[in-house]
Amino acid sequence: MTALSNFDLEFLQWLQSHRIEAFDSFFHALSSSTTMLAILGVLVISAIYFFKKDSISKIDFVSFWVLFATSLSINAVLKFLVARPRPFVTHPEILKMYDAGPYSFPSGHTITAFAIAFGILFIIKQRMYAIPFFIWAILVTYSRMVLGSHYLTDVTASIVIASVLFAVILNKRKQTKNAAEAF
């Protein structure tokens, strides 16, 4: 095993051995809620855009959707290209506390949570209102590891992917706005 793989395993073992068992059901529910909250969030933002057009600009709405859809697409492609087994599959000492698909890298729950949190920055004008979304995303990330479904590198890669996509889309938005103002 490489040094990074050893660190990944040791960190996960440490995390599970220091977990507070009373919170296991909370973290399981939090992980389970990710898909439903993402769908609900996307539907609410879409409804606001279509029924209250003056509250979300077209560029903000499209930016949100591009970030969300691209994140999920990259996750799906990488998941099957890398085909990294779940921690509890290759290391029986890791507790399996959440049913999950066969592959671990990257973390779909984490990339979804951070895509929503970063996407909210396009929608909400007062940035401080995005803080609860980032707290939720961080808790989802922790839950994926403590439940034995992901290594630290799985969730870190997901955060990096969502962050880089956000930065690229934000930069493209600024270029588009500047070009529009130049005319």
Considering the entire predicted model, what is its pTM? 0.90
Cα dist. 110→20, 122, 175 in Å? 21, 19, 29
Q: Considering only CA atoms, which of 45, 33, 36 is closest in space to residue 130?
A: 45
**Three-state secondary structure call for residue 99:** coil
pLDDT, tens digit, 9 for 90 and up, residues 8-65: 889 999 989 888 889 989 999 999 889 898 999 899 989 988 888 788 888 888 899 9
Across the range 76-89, mean pLDDT stands at 93
pLDDT digits (tens, 9 = 90+) for 137-165: 999 999 999 999 999 999 999 999 999 99
Bond into 106 cis (ω within 30)? yes
Task: Return the bridge partners of 181, or none.
Answer: none
- Whose tokens are 């396009």? That residue is 122
- With pLDDT > 90 as the criterion, what percentage of the chain qualifies? 50
CA 28 to each of CA 14, 18, 50, 108, 142: distance values in angstroms, whole numbers, following the listed order: 19, 16, 34, 15, 11
